[in-house]
A and B are shown apart, each in its own frame.
Chain A
Amino acid sequence: MATTTATVSITSADLVPGMPVSINASSTLYQTGTTTGLELVEMGRGTLTEASGADALADALGTADTTNWVYICNKSTNVEQYMIIGIHETVLGYLGSEEWMWIPWNMGDSDAEINIEAEASGDIDYEYAIYRSTNTLPAKT
Chain B
Amino acid sequence: MATTNATITINSDIMSYSGSVSTTMTMKKFGSTVGVEETTGLQVKKFNSASAVKIVDNTEGTAGKGSKVYIRNTGSSTTDFFYVALANGAAASDSTETIGRLYGGDWMLMPWIATAATTHDIHVAPSTTSTMTLEYMVFQE
Q: Which residues of A come within 8 Å of B, CB atoms?
A: 2-16, 21, 23, 25-30, 32-35, 37-41, 43, 64-65, 67-69, 71, 73, 79-80, 82, 85, 87-106, 108-109, 111-112, 127, 129, 131
Task: Determine the chain A residues whose CB is within 8 A of the CB of B137 once the complex forms.
Answer: 10, 23
17 other A-B residue contacts (CB within 8 Å) besides A89-B95, A92-B110: A4-B11, A4-B13, A10-B7, A15-B36, A25-B107, A39-B14, A79-B28, A85-B111, A88-B95, A92-B112, A94-B113, A99-B25, A101-B109, A103-B108, A103-B109, A106-B100, A108-B91
Task: Please give me the residue from chain A that is nearest to B112 by CB atom.
Answer: A93
A6 to B102, CA, bound (A): 13
**Nearest chain-A residue to B65 (Cβ)?**
A94
User: Chain B's interface: helix, strand, loop or mixed, by majority?
Assistant: strand
Contact B109 A102 (CB under 8 A): yes
Closest Cβ of chain B to A14, distance in Å, is: 5
Tally inter-chain residue pairs, CB-CB below 8 A. Answer: 210
Question: Whole-angstrom distance from the CB of B52 to the nearest CB of chain A?
Answer: 14
Interface residues of B (CB under 8 A from A): 2-15, 19, 21, 23, 25-28, 30-33, 35-37, 39, 41-42, 65-68, 70, 72, 78-79, 81, 83-84, 86, 91-103, 105-115, 119, 137, 139
* Chain A contact residues, majority secondary structure: strand
Residue of A nearest to B74 (CB): A25
Chain A contacts for B102, CB-based, 8 A: 104
